Chain A
């Protein structure tokens, strides 16, 4: 598995796309810092970008990589290598290179700007960690979708739909249900609904760190109490890990049973 991981990783490192991705984040970080002149402000703006773009790029890149390397995968399958290690190796190659582009691309300008001497370091670290997690989650989901669908167009369609659902539609349904059931106590429901969507979970985690919790009023107090405690932090990181491991399990399962 590690050989394949290494191969995929180096292959991607050499590819144009990860440079584009890396340069994009580098530029974004530089421009934000140049325009904002304020580290914590830049972190907030960055959050909006990370929450939306990272999942999108992870999804598209994952699907694209799978379909592009399909012929090579088929060649590998003819060799005496375990199936799960082929796909997991590829997956980790893609997700690690993407996460690395993100972390280094964003990290560099902020480090030059002196993030280590600033109070925003904790927030920034959280931002990068959730960004890396989101990359892992959405690349894994993309792999699952691509494995299930042999049709490229269909695969892309489903991947985009998945992103659209988690990034936009889920919140819409969430909002509607909150407004519809406004007469009932909703804090537990909203807590659960937030935990179930990795994008929402990352957003709320970062928002609470940004000291915006007071805005949330009573609901905020509930959230702060939950995410502020060790139990809440462990639970939410567990949730993120779960979001990575379930698709990984699916990749294993589908890849071993699939007829190529």
Chain B
């Protein structure tokens, strides 16, 4: 019974061996540099690069190849331009260390660029001193996994993005670690993208930046200490789950910026110590549930033109302002959230406060009007006027309240 299977495997092995040749690149090998190895390889071959330093750039891959680095060989571009360009389907790149990508003000040089290709796999790369890291251009069905990108960006205009997707579809970006570039991950016109388990921190501008990209989801990522946090703009049907946004702290920073986002889901995220947890502008029909907001300046800042958003089962802990509105109109609903500054009571012991909670304070309204007044934060006078406004709302939206504030925080699993 076993014999036919064995033969089959043997056959398959020998067949693939016969077909896919392995080319080795090292100082003492047949191929001394990567370019000649790639040029002389046939479609389906594997190029193995041994440990060493290779000063090369403009490596164009125009046939299905597997390029594997052993012990992370270094490809040094010497700041002369783009390093690897993939223009073929079924290409795998694995285990290289690429440094010194050229900086240009007219061309977006990348460490690895994929152009109009399918089924690619880019993994275990280490990119340093780069302009753009991994640039996917009109690519489909590929994976970008476990890469480490460490930039040295100083100015926004002279730096590039860590992973950039432009007109892409069905791509998985998983387990990457991106630091000190302009935008950690940037998506433009890219649909059905899954972004998972990435760490994006210390970037100059955004940890993650979405533009005109629909049906994407990002889950369990960590965005920390980025210049302006995460921006999701002009997109639909986005799922954001289990992400951590923390320490995006500065005069113009926020954890998450939503602009013109519709029909999306934001759940189980953790917003910690951001100047603004979520900044919402022109976003409709979004469900916010099971999120934690801790120690933010503003937990949620609603800027206007936001309709039919639902906030439920979120925890608001120790934020300077829970919700801020700049108008009296409200079409969003808040229900069954936990607010740490809630002072009501629960006589019938059903776990829900008997007095509704008003998350918008008068002071936040005043600060919206005259930003300078924030200097009076935590003053006794402000507490007094907040209290009087709470008793009888005049300036804040009077229908904006949580009718069933929870007395205990919602317990949900956040990793």
Contact = CB atoms under 8 A, between A and B. Distances in A.
B374 A216 contact: yes
A219 B371 contact: yes
Contacts of B318: 41
A182 B378 CA distance: 21
Given A168-B380, A168-B381, A212-B320, A179 B370 contact: yes
A6 to B, nearest CB: 36
Interface string B350-379: 000000000000000010011111111111
Given A174-B376, A178-B372, A211 B251 contact: no
B249 A214 contact: yes
Interface in A29-79: 41, 47-48, 51-52
A214 B382 contact: no
A129 to B, nearest CB: 18
B379 A203 contact: yes
Given A179-B366, A186-B372, A212 B377 contact: yes
B372 A171 contact: no
Nearest to B381: A171
A171 B298 CA distance: 22
B148 interface: no
A249 interface: no
A168 B388 CA distance: 14
Nearest to B274: A214
Interface residues of B, number: 26
B251 A221 contact: yes
B381 A217 contact: no
A172 interface: yes
Contacts of A194: 375
Contacts of B374: 215-217, 219-220
Given A51-B380, A214-B275, A214-B297, A187 B372 contact: yes
A221 B370 CA distance: 16
A123 B318 CA distance: 19
A178 B373 CA distance: 7
A41 B375 CA distance: 20
A218 interface: yes
Interface in A186-202: 186-187, 190, 194, 200
A142 interface: no
Nearest to B363: A175
B250 interface: yes
Q: How large is the interface on A (under 10, 10 to 19, 20 to 34, 35 or more residues)?
A: 20 to 34
Secondary structure dominating the interface of A: helix
B324 to A, nearest CB: 11
Contacts of B372: 178, 182, 186-187, 190, 219
B8 interface: no
A199 B371 CA distance: 21
A86 interface: no
A244 interface: no
Given A175-B366, A179-B366, A212-B320, A218 B371 contact: yes
A204 interface: yes
Which of A52, A172, A223 is packed against the most chain B CB atoms within 10 Å? A172
Contact of A175 (B249, B298, B376): B376
B200 interface: no
Contact of B250 (A51, A179, A182, A214): A214
B384 interface: yes
A175 B381 contact: yes
A187 B374 CA distance: 11
Which of B252, B320, B374 is packed against the most chain A CB atoms within 10 Å? B374
A207 interface: yes
A192 to B, nearest CB: 11
Contacts of A162: none
Nearest to B382: A171
Nearest to B252: A217
B289 interface: no
Contacts of B384: 168
Interface in A110-167: 167
B371 A215 contact: no
The 6 A-B pairs of least Cβ separation, nearest first, read A171-B381, A215-B297, A182-B370, A186-B372, A171-B379, A219-B372
Interface of A: 41, 47-48, 51-52, 167-169, 171-172, 174-175, 178-179, 182, 186-187, 190, 194, 200, 203-204, 207, 211-212, 214-221, 223
16 contacts: A41-B318, A167-B381, A168-B381, A171-B376, A171-B381, A178-B370, A178-B372, A182-B370, A182-B372, A200-B379, A204-B375, A212-B377, A214-B250, A215-B275, A215-B320, A218-B371
